[in-house]
């Protein structure tokens, strides 16, 4: 005998909200802030490129699945500034995501 099992259904994209934090979630900000006065080693640079690629893929996937937001406790503009400084390849993706500063809103 066959048992009918309903197929799992994902809510429609317009009903899905995905929220990320920036500092110490998508970007290792605390680690980088400890190294502001020194040049980053090649190993750290390599890890940053890996983080950059992973964050890019994650945000692109999130945008395909639903409304995607980054919420930060930092001042407005910090996400873009820190991305430009440490993970510049992420900037084009960030321009497609709504970024909300909890301090400015």
The DSSP code sequence of the chain is -----PPP-PPPGGG-EEEEETBTTTB-HHHHHTTTTSPPPHHHHHHHHHHHHHHHHHHHHHHHHSEEEEEESSPTTHHHHHHHHH-GGGHHHHTTSEEEETTT-
Q: pTM here?
A: 0.83
pLDDT in tens, 9-55: 666 777 889 999 999 999 999 999 998 878 899 999 999 999 999 99
What is the reported pLDDT for 104? 78
């Amino acid at each position: 005998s066959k048992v009918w099992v309903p197929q799992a259904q994902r809510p429609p994209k317009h009903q899905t909200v995905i929220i990320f934090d920036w500092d110490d979630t998508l970007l290792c900000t605390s680690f980088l802030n400890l190294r502001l006065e020194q040049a980053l080693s090649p190993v750290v640079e390599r890890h940053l490129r890996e983080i950059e690629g992973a964050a890019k893929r994650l945000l692109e996937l999130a945008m395909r699945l639903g409304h995607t937001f980054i919420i930060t406790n930092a001042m407005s503009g910090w996400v873009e500034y820190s991305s430009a400084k440490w993970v510049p390849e992420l900037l084009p993706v960030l321009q497609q995501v709504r970024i909300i500063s909890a301090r400015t809103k």
